[in-house]
Amino acid sequence: MIEQDPAGIYGMTSQVRILVSCALVVTAYLVDFLCCRILIPLIQKVAVKTSFKWDNYLTNGKVLHNVFHLIPPVTFYVALPLIFPEPAVWTGMLLKAFAIYIIVVACRLVCEFITSLYAISADSEVLKDKPMKGVYQMLKVVVVCIGVILIFGVLLDKDFTTLIAGLGASAAVLMLVFKDTILGVVAGVQLSAHDMLRPGDWIMMDKYGINGTVEEVTLNTVKVRNWDKTITTVPPYVLVSDSFKNWRGMRESEGRRVTRALSIDVNSIRFCTDEEVSRFAGKPWTPDTVSSGRVVNLKLFRAAAEDYLRSLSEVNADLMLLVRQLEPTSEGLPLQLYFFTAAKDWVPHEHIASDVVEQMIAMLPEFGLRLYQKPSGLDLIRAREIMKTEA
């Protein structure tokens, strides 16, 4: 039995206890109000003036508001058994309500703190390109799960470890329910650990119609904006289990590759005439065999094409550069232009490649060469008119 103390708190009447409780609640919430209105803006002003950026995120309104929102429930949770020491049903219910409220606010506080950590990492030069969002989302899921377990423990008057042991028995069911989340977490860790994917990477995955820039990597999805402005989302574990092409290596290199082929009409390939030999003899790119008079016009064109490519400032001549023949086909002899442009963005890269191909086509007649082209309807009409004229 608790001894009565007329001079102490246990000697208070019910009316006095209620007044003390009301005064305590009002005081606690008044402190919370004043801290949110006065102390938080003051802390934020001090954080802005510092040379660090991380304190700006940690002192944002949501983190500090949740810290001060813990003052009223914690105060009343501690004081309630002292003000009303006699066990009662309503005091037990109030204590449970305040305990649940404390757990909810604490979970919100930790989640907001994790959000601030994500903002700090996104602003960091070292971590801003890492797909860290999924990791932070998983931490939030863990915090929420712990909060839910604690709330059930309060409602059922069970110990935390007892509930965890009960969940262990139903682990198979939980794994089935959270299968996608678990696979997403494992895949996210693999993508981050092996640096396989970053926001801003250009990736291609034909199986899923992906060809564009990675916008976001989360716990359950990878969002890609394709070049046609459509958005494709796939689970992270798809990128680990299947193959995809990442163009980041090209962007980080010194050039972007161009491979274009011209189909040369084999009937136009021949030895150079004496006039052509004398005309090309003084060129710096002319092979030594020209003086013998037995040089093929296609060989001269290849030498001239390589010299032209090396002379362009838009082409990185330090990387692989060649003009080579591919296997002949029924549509002529493919002559491939293989080089790297210094510009790696799509539009300037394509402009340079188009300019080079146009220049090469225009150079062909100078060497007595012509492109192979299948006869069109207009060609057949012209051939028929010529036959009529000759007849």
Task: Look at residue 195 in the predicted model and tell me its pLDDT.
Answer: 78
217 located within any domain: yes
Q: Examine the domain organization and report whether 215 and 303 are in the same domain.
A: no
CA nearest to 135, candidates 197, 213, 217, 234 = 217
Considering the domain boundaries, does residue 385 fall inside one?
Answer: no
Residue where one domain finishes, among candidates 227, 248, 269: 248
Residue 219 CB: number of other CB atoms within 10 A? 21
Residue type, 231: I
Q: Residues 269, 234: one domain? A: no
CATH assignment at residue 195: 2.30.30.60
Looking at the structure, tell me whether residues 195 and 172 fall in a common domain: yes
**Percentage of residues in the chain having pLDDT higher than 90:** 28
Flag whether 390 is in a domain: no
Residue 322 domain boundaries: 253-367
CATH of residue 296's domain is: 3.30.70.100
8-state DSSP, 2: P
Q: Which of 63, 194, 46, 193 is nearest to 119 (CA)?
A: 63
* 201 and 266 co-located in one domain: no
pLDDT at 14: 66
User: Is residue 143 one of the residues assigned to a domain?
Assistant: no
Burial class (CB within 10 angstroms; exposed 0-12, middle 13-18, buried 19+) of 295: buried
User: 165 and 113: one domain?
Assistant: no
Asked whether residue 29 carries a pLDDT value surpassing 60, the answer given is yes
Instruction: Tell whether 141 is covered by a domain.
Output: no
Highest mean pLDDT among 73-77, 228-232, 240-244: 228-232
Question: Per the domain annotation, does 136 fall within a domain?
Answer: no
Same domain, 230 and 263: no
Instruction: Tell the residue number behind the tokens 């004229």, with chain if given.
Output: 389
Residue 59 lies in a domain: yes
- Asked if residue 145 is part of any domain, the answer here is no
- Is the pLDDT reported for residue 97 higher than 80? yes
96 shares its domain with 165: no
| pLDDT recorded at residue 224 | 94
Q: What is the pLDDT of residues 130-189, one digit of tens each?
A: 666 767 777 888 888 888 888 888 888 777 666 666 666 566 666 666 677 777 777 877
Q: Which of 248, 267, 298 is the last residue of a domain?
A: 248
Among 61, 60, 58, 65, residue whose Cα is nearest residue 120: 58
Let me know: does 263 contact 217? Beta carbons within 8 Å: no
Residue 355 has pLDDT above 50, yes or no: yes
194 and 274: one domain?
no
Strands 231-234 and 322-325 turn out to be: unpaired
Count the domains in the chain: 3
Q: Are the beta carbons of 217 and 224 closer than 8 angstroms?
A: no
pTM above 0.85, yes or no: no
Give the integer Cα–Cα distance in Å for 92 and 380.
Answer: 99
The whole-angstrom separation of Cα 272 and Cα 267 is 14
Count the neighbouring beta carbons within 10 Å of the beta carbon of residue 140. Answer: 17
pLDDT at 65: 77
